[in-house]
Structure 1
Amino acid sequence: MTTVQYVCATTSRTLLGRLDQDAAWFDMHHVARLFGIKSERAAKLLWQVGVTRDINADQDLRWPGDDRCLLSHRAVMSLGYHVDFGRTTAFRKWCASSP
């Protein structure tokens, strides 16, 4: 797997992830930090976007077995649009421009 790094232009917070097949994967705790929210709020929002079918839990969420939740870049964007539209738009543009 290839490592990827996103740096938020607004906050300079770094989000490290890994490319695997057709998605980039990020730790939910780090995604929450990127958007300036607590992990508990991120988990609640993830549940909400799952219910509204903005994401497909089978394709966009992974639990590697060590009490972590990994989010695909699609799940990061879905979560982010509920929290901070500007930061999410920048992340979406970064995803589109990354190889």
Structure 2
Amino acid sequence: MRTIKYVCASNSTKIDGRLDENTAWFEFHQVAHLFGMSLEQAAKLLRQAGATGDIEAAKDVRSSDRCQCLLSHRAVVAVGYQANYGRATAFRHWCASRRSTIQRQW
């Protein structure tokens, strides 16, 4: 797995991710921090994204030895659109700019 780093242009928040095949994975608590929300708020939005079909939990959420929960780049965007549209759009553009590395599945 290769490490990748995203830096938010609007507030310089940094989140580290891991690239596994063509999907970027980010720790849940970092995603909440990126969008300026509590873990509880982020969990609620993640559940909503699953309920509306914006993400598929089996494909976009996983557990890891190091942390409790990892979100795919698609799940990050889905949660972000419900929380902070501007930051989510910037993150989606960042993913698209790395489309040779990160698979585009929106």
Q: Quote how far apart the aligned CAs of 1:65 are.
A: 4.9
Q: Is the 8 A contact 2:35 2:80 kept in 1?
A: yes
Deviation digits for residues 6-53 of structure 1 (CA, Å, limit 9, x no counterpart)? 000111000100000121000010000000000111011101110111
Q: What is aligned with 2:25?
A: 25
> Structure 1: 5+ residue runs without aligned partners?
none
Percentage identity across aligned positions?
55
Mapping 1:41-80, distance limit 5 Å = 41-65=41-65, 68-80=68-80
Tell me the TM-score normalised to structure 1 length.
0.95
The size of the alignment, in residue pairs, is 99
Distance 1:84 1:45 in 2: 11
Please tell me the root mean square deviation across aligned C-alpha atoms, in Å.
1.1
Provide the TM-score with structure 2 as the length reference.
Answer: 0.89
Q: After TM superposition, what 4+ stretches of structure 1 lie above 2 angstroms from structure 2? A: none
**Alignment pair present for 1:90 and 2:86:** no
CA distance in 1, matches of 2:43, 2:53: 15
Structure 2 residues without counterparts, runs of 5 or longer: 102-106
